[in-house]
């Protein structure tokens, strides 16, 4: 029954006879990566995904690893950007998410962005065809059955209520939540290129780009100030039952919330005018709205950083005041949903096991890491740790000097449990490194970042080689 990776048992409850299987709950980025890693190590995996039996407020398809917010995995620079370094480490570890992300890449300057449908379709196909993976379409409404001895919970920020409540009762922790917002998507042929133009910031080409990967819409000072005021005045969707006690994550801050912080906030955030030259005007832009390619055919572009909780009618009215988007046709308007995560530094041990019930591991955004790549990377580690345990191998932790190890350290022991909030990977999570130039002076900035990245890749190589030696033995 479980030998065929193409088996999809929609809505049926099952009882697994062998407790040596790894059960993974959640088929998002983290769950998909965990399943792939464990199966590649020789472990039989049952991947439980509740869609389409039980839908969510954010997902639109039943594909695994669906991207519900941005289509960007952010910077792909492995030496000067921490998330780019994490990309490279995951590639070295045989990541399914990065493999298919690279194949589905669309132009995005120095970032790695993907065609959503091609990406999630390829991930789904790879998992369905793997001989050690069985995909079961069902909701796990509560804690997993007791005879499932090895479980990874990778249900992400949209964990179903019955499972979330069961976890809360088990851990004794109050639910922690924050907002995640969706950016609108525009049909390319509805953009006015008498005002808009193609250019990457500083003409940077990146992994799949040409230096002209973004569509840019410039504003003068008056247009910008009117736009900010329109954002502030627009009617918003209110979520009174949970908005007062929840927190926005800084990386997905609704644009109107940013505008509330001050009139110049957007000019130093998603609308910064640096590194761009408007070919339609001699004067320098006062602010610039950027749109990033959302699919391979380049027929859709999303408005970068424009997550919003404005009501739909207001969104259309306000966003069409942007020069070049006067007649914009929207394939999707922005939205907002609540995300849930656990207090990982308090609840999890160093290899992602729940202290209150060690048969359960957690992975992905539910652990309090933030971002597509970060979520997948924690899934990568959880899958490897669980597989090693099932196979009777010692769990070999990634060095804290690597992006993988530094992120793992942060969410399991490095962060303050009293003030824990979701975190993207960043160089501030890495151990200190004393880097000096030829004059003996301590270096900072880009030089230090590159030294930290080179150390990480060196230590990662040694870690992978050690794992391979143990496997061979």
DSSP states of 79-123? TT-HHHHHHHHHHHTT-HHHHHHHHTEE--TTEEEE-HHHHHHHH
Q: Could you write out the DSSP letters of every residue in 256-319?
A: HHHHHT-TTTGGGTTT--TT---TT-SSPPSEEEEEEE-STTS-EEEETT----B-HHHHHHHH
Token pair belonging to 219: 């504003």
pLDDT at 55: 72
Are 169 and 82 a contacting pair, CB within 8 Å? no
Compute the mean pLDDT over every residue in the chain, rounded to the nearest whole number.
89
Q: Which of 163-172, 307-316, 400-409 has the lowest mean pLDDT?
A: 163-172
pLDDT at 157: 75
Split at pLDDT 50, 70, 90, the class of 19 is: low
Task: Quickly tell me which residue has 């609308």 as its tokens.
Answer: 271
Helices and strands in the chain, H and E counts: 13, 17
Split at pLDDT 50, 70, 90, the class of 206 is: confident
pLDDT at 241: 56
Q: Is residue 65 predicted with pLDDT exceeding 70?
A: yes
pLDDT in tens, 232-283: 999 988 765 555 556 677 677 899 999 999 999 999 999 999 999 999 999 9
pLDDT in tens, 70-116: 899 999 999 999 999 999 999 999 999 999 999 999 999 999 999 99
In this prediction, residues 220-230 reach a mean pLDDT of 97
The single-letter DSSP state of residue 412 is I
Token pair belonging to 347: 């609840």
Q: What share of the chain is helix, strand, coil (3-state, %, to 5)?
A: 35, 15, 45
pLDDT at 237: 81
Integer Cα distance of 103 and 107 in angstroms: 12
> Angle, nearest 10°, between helix axes 372-390 and 29-40?
30
- Respond yes or no on whether the N-terminal peptide bond of residue 52 is cis (omega within 30° of 0): yes
Are 27 and 133 a contacting pair, CB within 8 Å? no
Which residues, 6 or more positions from 303, have their beta carbon under 8 angstroms from its beta carbon?
183, 184, 185, 186, 289, 290, 291, 319
pLDDT at 419: 77
Comparing CA positions, the residue from 43, 283, 73, 300 lying closest to residue 188 is 300
Integer Cα distance of 405 and 430 in angstroms: 9
Which residues, 6 or more positions from 239, have their beta carbon under 8 angstroms from its beta carbon?
336, 338
pLDDT in tens, 364-397: 999 989 899 999 999 999 999 999 999 999 998 9
Q: Is residue 37 predicted with pLDDT exceeding 60?
A: yes
Task: Quickly tell me which residue has 């969104």 as its tokens.
Answer: 315
pLDDT at 2: 29
* Of 152 and 180, more confident: 152
Q: Is residue 13 predicted with pLDDT exceeding 50?
A: no
Token pair belonging to 114: 């993907």
């Amino acid at each position: 029954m479980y030998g065929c990776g193409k088996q999809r048992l929609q809505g049926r409850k099952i009882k697994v006879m062998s407790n040596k299987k790894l059960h993974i709950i959640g088929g998002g980025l983290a769950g998909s990566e965990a399943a792939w890693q464990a199966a590649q190590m020789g472990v039989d995996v049952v991947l439980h995904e509740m869609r389409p039996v039980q839908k969510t407020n954010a997902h639109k398809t039943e594909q695994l690893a669906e991207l519900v917010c941005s289509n960007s995995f952010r910077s792909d620079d492995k030496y000067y950007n921490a998330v780019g370094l994490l990309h490279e480490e995951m590639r070295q570890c045989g990541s399914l998410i990065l493999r298919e992300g690279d194949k589905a890449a669309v132009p995005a300057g120095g970032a790695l962005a993907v065609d959503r449908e091609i990406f999630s379709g390829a991930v789904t196909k790879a998992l369905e065809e793997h001989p050690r993976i069985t995909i079961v379409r069902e909701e796990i409404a509560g804690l997993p059955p007791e005879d499932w001895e090895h479980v990874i919970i990778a249900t992400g920020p949209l964990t179903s209520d019955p499972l979330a409540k069961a976890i809360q009762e088990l851990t004794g922790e109050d639910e922690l939540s924050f907002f995640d917002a969706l950016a609108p998507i525009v049909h390319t042929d509805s953009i006015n290129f008498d005002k808009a133009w193609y250019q990457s910031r500083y003409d940077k080409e990146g992994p799949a780009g040409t230096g002209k990967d973004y569509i840019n819409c410039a504003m003068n000072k008056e247009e910008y100030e009117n736009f900010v005021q329109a954002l502030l005045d627009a009617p918003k969707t209110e979520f009174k039952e949970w908005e007062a006690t929840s927190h926005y994550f800084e990386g997905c801050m609704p644009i109107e919330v940013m505008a509330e912080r001050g009139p110049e906030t957007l000019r130093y955030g998603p609308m910064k005018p640096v590194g761009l030259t408007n070919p339609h005007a001699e004067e320098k832009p006062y602010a610039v709205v950027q749109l990033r390619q959302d699919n391979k055919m380049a027929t859709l572009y999303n408005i970068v950083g424009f997550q919003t909780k404005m009501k739909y009618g207001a969104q259309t009215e306000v966003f069409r005041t942007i020069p070049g988007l006067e007649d914009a046709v929207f394939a999707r308007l922005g939205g907002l949903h609540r995300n849930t995560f656990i207090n990982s530094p308090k609840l999890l041990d160093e290899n992602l096991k729940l202290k209150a019930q060690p048969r359960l591991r957690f992975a992905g955004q539910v652990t309090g890491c933030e971002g597509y790549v970060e979520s997948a990377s924690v899934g990568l580690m959880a899958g490897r740790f669980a597989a090693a345990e099932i196979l009777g191998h010692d769990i070999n932790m990634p060095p804290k000097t690597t992006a993988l190890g530094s992120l793992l350290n942060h969410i399991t022991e490095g962060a303050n449990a009293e003030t824990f909030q979701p975190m993207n990977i960043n160089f501030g999570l890495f151990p200190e490194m004393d880097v000096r130039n030829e004059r003996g002076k301590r270096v900072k900035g880009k030089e230090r970042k590159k030294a930290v990245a080179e150390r990480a890749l060196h230590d990662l190589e040694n870690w992978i080689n050690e794992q391979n030696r143990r496997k061979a033995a």
